Amino acid sequence: MKSPNTDGVRGFFYMTIEKEKRLTLPPKNKRDFVVLHKNKTLSIMGLKCGIVGLPNVGKSTLFNCLSNAQAKSANFPFCTIEPQVGMINVPDNRLEKLEELVNPQRVVPTVIEIVDIAGLVKGASKGEGLGNKFLANIRETDAILHVLRCFNDDNIVHVHGKVDPISDKEIIDFELQLKDLETVESMASKNQRAAKTGDKEAIKKAAVYERLKAHLEKGKSARSLELEDFEVPIIDEMFLLTNKPVLYVCNVDETSAAEGNEYVESVKKMAEEENAQVLFICAGLEADVAQLDSYEERMEFLNDVGLKEAGVNKLIRSAYKLLNLSTYFTAGVQEVRAWTIPVGATAPQAAGVIHTDFERGFIKAEVMKYEDFTSLGSEAACREAGKLNMQGKEYLVEDGDIMHFKFNV
């Protein structure tokens, strides 16, 4: 294999041909092309969101229309026992424009990993309904998509006999809070001996544990506790379930797909108190849209019910916002690709998402703004207009940047 050269991303394109092992899905069109990397050093930094909720709220239906995997979807609890995992392209219209201008051999979007976790029930924190296994699955995710039933349908039973999304939400919260309380009490117990010896760090931790314990005992989630800067890493190291960012997804009927309903309004009011996000979507309708072959058919279907785009697109963008992520692009004749990074990532960190050698041997980055590139039409035009800038190690990458990296290892 050739050693990575110092021509930035252009050199990377040749390197990846030899180093990647690709799993490709047959594309319906050029923009549906998906690449899932098996080599860890070349893996795309993506999202891993867990879909949670009570049984029969539409979790698996939503999961099925998000991914190529088909989770079981039936009218009884615990239909999904093992977590189902699916991958989906992150929709980004900017890739389409870059493809038009660059005319590459392939276009690769970033991907999102979705995990469908079986429906939780009362007593999950104590092992009811395979609760311990389900909670462990939630712990492995980066964010929670909490699906709430916001529709009436006598043909679909509600596990507690009536539709009440606020009550449903509180049931899930309670189980997660109880599990977190166990974790906090265990950590406090282990820390107690060191604190008694006068260890300053242990004393700090003891105070944080006590404050967090009191917060959870009030029925509040860890994410709503206001923290000092020094307390954040202490909380983070416990991997608490209720400290994960959450998006409430209201599953509505088709007549409410465009405007929502009274159930959605009650969830929005509740979420304001938590400073949480809310999205409403008709999972059944989305499943129907996903079965259509062409873009034109999908848009015609959506327009007929008063929607401008698929709800899953909104969901993915909301998940991005939830995890504080942004996208930058690499663009060349062999490949146009979107890469996912945390907001605030430096240029070397962004380079490291492509390959660790890029970060280790980072020299500088050539950066063009998406707006400049698309308005001027090419890299050469950006360079001539003074819109291609050289940036160093301290540069904070902005969403939409088009970057070429120079490195030496």
Burial class (CB in 10 A: 0-12, 13-18, 19+), 105: exposed
Cβ partners under 8 Å of residue 179, min gap 6: 124, 125, 135, 241
- Average pLDDT of the chain is 80
Q: Which residues of 287-322 are buried (b: 16+ CB within 10 A; e: fewer)?
A: bebeeeeeeeebbebbeeeebeebbbebbbebbbeb
- How far is residue 264's CA from residue 169's CA, in Å, rounded to a whole number? 13
| Structure-block tokens of residue 23 | 């799993």
**Cα–Cα nearest to 328, from 405, 406, 404, 400:** 400
Distance of CA 34 to the CA centre of its chain: 17
Angle between helix 283-290 and 59-66 (nearest 10) = 30
For residues 48 and 353, which has the higher predicted lDDT (pLDDT)?
Answer: 353
pLDDT digits (tens, 9 = 90+) for 160-219: 778 999 999 999 899 899 999 999 999 999 999 999 999 999 999 999 999 999 999 999
What pLDDT score was predicted for residue 45? 45
HSE-CB of 25 using CA atoms within 13 angstroms = 18
155 pLDDT band, cuts 50/70/90, is confident
138 pLDDT band, cuts 50/70/90, is confident
- How far is residue 336's CA from residue 328's CA, in Å, rounded to a whole number? 11
Are the C-beta atoms of 116 and 345 separated by less than 8 Å?
Answer: no
Least confident of 41-45, 235-239, 252-256: 41-45
What pLDDT score was predicted for residue 266? 96
Cβ partners under 8 Å of residue 224, min gap 6: 215, 274, 275
- How far is residue 67's CA from residue 2's CA, in Å, rounded to a whole number? 36
Question: Is the per-residue pLDDT at 247 higher than 90?
Answer: yes
- How far is residue 397's CA from residue 389's CA, in Å, rounded to a whole number? 12
pLDDT digits (tens, 9 = 90+) for 322-380: 888 899 999 999 999 999 999 999 999 999 999 999 999 999 999 999 999 999 999 99
- How far is residue 220's CA from residue 217's CA, in Å, rounded to a whole number? 7
For residues 249 and 157, which has the higher predicted lDDT (pLDDT)?
Answer: 249
Helix ranges restricted to H, 309-406: 311-322, 347-354, 356-360, 370-376, 379-384
Helix ranges restricted to H, 355-402: 356-360, 370-376, 379-384
Number of C-beta neighbours around residue 283 at 10 A:
28
C-alpha distances out from residue 150 to 256, 282, 335, Å:
9, 9, 43
| Percent of the chain topping pLDDT 90 | 49
Phi-psi region of 78 (alpha: psi -120 to 50; beta: other; left: phi over 0): left
Question: Is the per-residue pLDDT at 33 higher than 70?
Answer: no
